[in-house]
Structure 1
């Protein structure tokens, strides 16, 4: 079922000299890279659509953690690993979280931004999903069957979320909260706390999306990314301090999502347009 022999063929096709490239590709499906991408799109492109996909990502994280704990299938043996990576041997191996997350985010963006009819957008998302998925097999932390199931689940999940949320991010975060509670009980990991805190922050802050000021200029976009990125970095620094106190982590993750959503309201109070005019 997990296609062990085919997985060996994929691993054997990737020399260890390409390990750094494989690690870079696999990070494109990691939590940090995906959330930063969605945050930048939220600040600079389309707030409602990006918030909707963020809700997909948080809800999907909670669902996947529950599924992993339910199946309880191990990762490939340690001698199959291409290189030693911190944290990559932890947790269960089925289905693949990176393959699922890449599908939910990249596929969700294509869907939420109404680009399903755009061949280039669909192809680009498909290439990214395939690359992330195969990188997990090449690294030896998943079997080929794990990533195929992860992709299939991601496609089905996006289709269901699109229908149920009807384009409303608050509904998406409410679903995430419902899924995050059992995930926290069953999985009990930092990722499950991220799902719980993120869904709470999303439910509270997404209600203010219609009141957020529109993006006024490219300079304001730069300020948003700078200020928002600084806020995210601050939260990550605080995370290392309170890592052992689970209730504080939930509060911190809720503040992280709420802060990402409310940064435009803070920047909207600044006289960015006047500054840009003076520079001109």
Structure 2
């Protein structure tokens, strides 16, 4: 079922000298990169669509962590790894979380933006998901069967979330909470599951503000949003590194998602104040 022999053929096709390139590809399916991409899209693009996919990602994280813990199937042996990666030795191997998450996020963005009938868009997303999935096999942290099942589950999850949410981000975050709480129990309170619970709560508490957020007025404001928003995200992640209590971690993750949602209002308010001040000065002159 996990296609061990076929996985070995994939691994043998890529030598260790390309390890950095393969790792760069695999990072595109990691939590940090995916949330960073979704945050930028939320600040610069269609906020309702981006928030909806953020809720998909958080809900999907809870489902995947619970499923992997329940099945408890191991990763390939360490000698299968392309290079030594300490961070990839922990956790379970089936199904692939990277393949699932990449499908949910990139496929979700394709779906909610109504571009799923555009051949080039589908081909681009498909190629990206395949590249991320195969990178996991090449690195030796998953078997080919793991990534195939992960991607298929991701497609099914996006279809289900599209029907359940009907395009409403608040519903997506509510579903994420419903899925994250039992996942927290199943995983024994794993930090990643606490992220799902806190993130879902933060999204639900702020989803009602999305429609009232100010539109992006200029490229300069877009740069300011990325700088201020990114700075806040980094600060919260630094705080996470010194916090160990479960409730505190949950609160930090809730604050992280809430910050992504509300920062356009903060930057917009400051921008309006600067414009008003300059207008007053010109009027006085």
Q: Which category of TM-score, normalised to the shorter sequence, fits these structures?
A: over 0.9
Q: For residue 109 of structure 2, what is the aligned residue in structure 1?
A: 109
Q: Residue 283 of structure 2 aligns with which residue?
A: none
Please list, as runs of the form range in 1=range in 2, the aligned pairs for 1:241-256 lying within 5 A after superposition.
Answer: 241-242=242-243, 244-256=244-256
Residue 86 of structure 1: aligned partner: 86
Uncovered stretches (5+) of structure 2, i.e. residues with no partner: 280-285
**Unaligned stretches of 5+ in structure 1?**
none
* Counterpart in the other structure of 2:264: 264
Question: 1:87 Cα deviation (Å)?
Answer: 1.5
User: For 1:174-213, what per-residue CA distance to the aligned partner results, in whole angstroms no more than 9, with x for missing partners?
Assistant: 0000110011111121110100000000110111111111
Counterpart residue number, 1:191: 192
State the secondary structure of the residue aligned to 1:141: coil
Measure, in 1, the Cα distance between the counterparts of 2:20 and 2:246.
Answer: 33
Partner of 1:45: 45
Partner SS for 1:82: coil
- State yes or no: 1:215 paired with 2:216: yes
Give 1:253 deviation, angstroms. 0.1
Alpha-carbon separation, structure 1, partners of 2:194 and 2:84: 26
Q: Normalised by the size of structure 2, how large is the TM-score?
A: 0.95
Secondary structure of the equivalent of 2:241? helix
Q: Which residue of 2 aligns with 1:75?
A: 75
3-state SS in 1 of match to 2:76: coil
Max radius of gyration: which structure?
Answer: 2
Provide the aligned C-alpha RMSD in A: 1.3
Offset at residue 86 of structure 1 (A) = 2.5
Matched, 1:4 2:4: yes
For 1:1-280, what aligned pairs fall within 5 Å after superposition?
1-187=1-187, 188-242=189-243, 244-271=244-271, 274=275
Q: What do the CA deviations read for 1:38-92 (whole angstroms, capped 9, x no partner)? A: 0000000110000000000000000001100111100001110111112201111
TM-score (ref. length: structure 1) = 0.96
Q: How far does the alpha carbon of each residue in 1:243-263 deviate from its partner, in whole angstroms, 9 at most, with x for none?
A: x21110000000000011000
1:215 Cα deviation after fit: 1.1
Residue-by-residue CA offset, 1:121-164 (whole Å, 9 max, x unaligned): 11111111000000000000000000000000000000000011
In 2: Cα distance, 1:274 partner to 1:127 partner: 44
